[in-house]
Amino acid sequence: MNILSHEICNEIDQWTAKFPKDKKQSAVLAALHIVQNHNDGWLRRELLDAVADYLEIPKMAVYEVASFYSMFDLKETGKYKINVCTNISCLLRGSEGVVKHFEKRLGISLGETTPDGKFTLREVECLAACVNAPVCQVLCKGKGDYQVDLTPEKIDTLLEGLK
């Protein structure tokens, strides 16, 4: 039984149409994004299996992609995913303090979700916005924005604006 909704299948079909019929695997990244965005921002095992079945590819081909990229979550996350870059440019511009401030404000550590299910705080590699380090990315249902030149005051304003 296909557990992917009609809407999800239609979106995936738009991607598979871009590739030769025998190369549906090329749409696996797009398909995982679509499915994650429609399912509270994370991918449970049954959804990975459904993507594999829908694309007619081995389940392992989906698992290896979903587990490799940090943009896919294989366990439940908060409504807002806060991805703090701690790579070299951000580190040199104070990302340790950024992480500490988020942790203090949210009452959680990196990799954790607040008890109310609102925020998940994560450490990520370079977000390709080094010129504005330190940087974080805030995602909600797959959509989001970068927050740049972070300071404790900017973080406070950011968190107060996330309802």
Binding site for ligand FES (CB under 6 A): 85, 87-90, 126-130, 133, 135
Query: 128 or 162: whose CB is closer to ligand FES?
Result: 128
Residues pairing with 147 in the sheet: 136
Give the shortest CB-121-to-ligand FES separation in angstroms. 16
Give the shortest CB-73-to-ligand FES separation in angstroms. 20
Give the shortest CB-125-to-ligand FES separation in angstroms. 8
CB distance 3 to 46 below 8 Å: yes
Query: 13 or 125: whose CB is closer to ligand FES?
Result: 125
Give the shortest CB-33-to-ligand FES separation in angstroms. 21
Helix (H, G, I), strand (E, B) or coil at 80: strand
Residues pairing with 123 in the sheet: 84
Question: What's the chain's length in residues?
Answer: 163
Written as six digits, the tokens of 161 are 């604006």
Query: 128 or 140: whose CB is closer to ligand FES?
Result: 128
54: Cβ contacts below 8 Å, ≥ 6 apart: 2, 4, 9, 12, 31
Query: 2 or 151: whose CB is closer to ligand FES?
Result: 151
